Amino acid sequence: MISLTHYLVLSAILFAIGVVGVLIRRNAIMILLAVEIILNAANLSFVAFSRFNNSLDGQIFVFFIMTIAAAEVAVGLAILLVLFRSKRTIDTNQIKSLRW
């Protein structure tokens, strides 16, 4: 029988993979992809808790998180396009104008 722990461990592993991705990649698009993995890990634990507590509120939360993720990706990718247009790179090591 699959218990709540299984789903939460899967969610934690996906979260850790996403954090590693944010830390080791230089390409800004890859960082956004890793953030998507992190959001999906959070969604998975929401749905698991919703199922095992017999309440639908977790699934409503997931609906809102997905909406915000879509908005975040739209704006983030537009920012990346503008950045590429002005700096000719999206390598996070070469974008230094906000760095001290």
Partner 1 sequence: MLESILFYSFAVLAVVTALFVIFCRHPVYSVLYLLITMFAIAAVYVMLQAYFVAAIQLIVYAGAILVLFLFVVMMLNLDHEGEESFRVGPSRWFAVPFALAFLCEVIPIIENFGNVQRSNVPMLEGTTEIVGRHLFTRHFLPFEIVSFVLLAAILGAAVLSKRTWR
For residue 80, what are the CA distances in angstroms to 6, 10, 60?
37, 31, 30
- Residue of 86, 95, 98, 100 that binds partner 1 (CB under 8 A): 86
Q: How far apart are CA 12 and CA 90, in angstroms?
A: 29
4 is an interface residue for partner 1 by CB under 8 A = yes
Query: Per rule CB under 8 A, is residue 66 in the interface with partner 1?
Result: yes
Q: Which of residues 11-50 bind partner 1 (CB under 8 A)?
A: 12-21, 23-27, 29-30, 32-34, 36-37, 40, 43-44, 47-48, 50
Identify the bridge partners of residue 27 per DSSP, sorted by sequence position: 91
